[in-house]
Amino acid sequence: MKTPFKSNLEVVHNKIPDIIPPSGRIAVVADGNSPDPDDLGGTAVSIALLRAAGLEDRLVHYSHSCDLLRVNRISEKAEIERHAMMQSVCDVTARRWGGFDHLKFLDAKWDLDHTIKDLARAINASTASDPLWIIEAGEPDVIGFALAASDKDKHLFVKVVTHHPANDDAGDFYSWQQILDFGVEEVRIPDQNIKLKVNMEQWNWARDHKDSRLQQVWLYGKMAEVDDVVKFQKGKWDCSDAGMILYWITGANVHQGLKQGTVTDVKHILLNYITAQN
């Protein structure tokens, strides 16, 4: 396990959150193919945060487009576009920030069997000293299928992190209670939209930064803002699901992680990493 991240720039950026993750590995199950496009910005920030925290090797599964049954609020053509955009945000962010060559980012709906088996393998590798933290950044169905396909004796070492009942209650095949009935630990934090769905200008620091990696992260959030499927993202830069990553890298429920992280927290972590490289 890597030692806690210590910045040599703490005098300059005196509000950098401590990076003290709990033991174990992390898996992310996101949607993005649902009507709300917020997972575009959320995924870009999540991948960048893990790299900036030096925890990229702890990420053992990342799947997107976990909304398995399309709803009428998004057309078939628009959903196909979202699959492509979500794969892009995963692959491009991972390549440009680096450190994720060990991982294949999976399209859950279009490669469901592989996704279930991959997450089940991560569950089966879990132990008391090396638990698996699953970030529920979309519907719970893929998590349910993976739990059903895995060794039930390992479920004791699985923790599912959630922040919003809109995800918990959206399953077409599994309810939230059925997920909990597998014997996993629920780790619930407050709604991350409160402080991470913000007016666009709060992300101007990334848009205007000379480092193109930060510009690229901003661009994916902007793509979600101009998406024409829903109206409630207009004028907003939303990385709400990344709040669960922020919570985990700062300690989760083991070391009192940030339960209500802010754009400023994200900014300090990413800028500290960028500055330390220069």
Q: How far is CA 224 from the centre of its chain?
A: 15
Confidence at residue 246, expressed as pLDDT on a 0 to 100 scale: 98
Rg over alpha carbons for the chain, rounded to the nearest Å, is 17
Q: What is the pLDDT along the chain (278 residues), one digit of tens a residue?
A: 444 444 333 333 458 899 999 999 999 999 999 999 999 999 999 999 999 999 999 999 999 999 999 999 999 999 999 999 999 999 999 999 999 999 999 999 999 999 999 999 999 999 999 999 999 999 999 999 999 999 999 999 999 999 999 889 999 999 999 999 999 999 999 999 999 999 999 999 999 999 999 999 999 999 999 999 999 999 999 999 999 999 999 999 999 999 999 999 999 999 999 999 88
Domain residue ranges of the chain, discontinuous segments joined by +:
25-277
122/144 Cα distance (integer angstroms): 14
197 forms beta bridges with 238
Name the class of domain 25-277. Answer: alpha beta
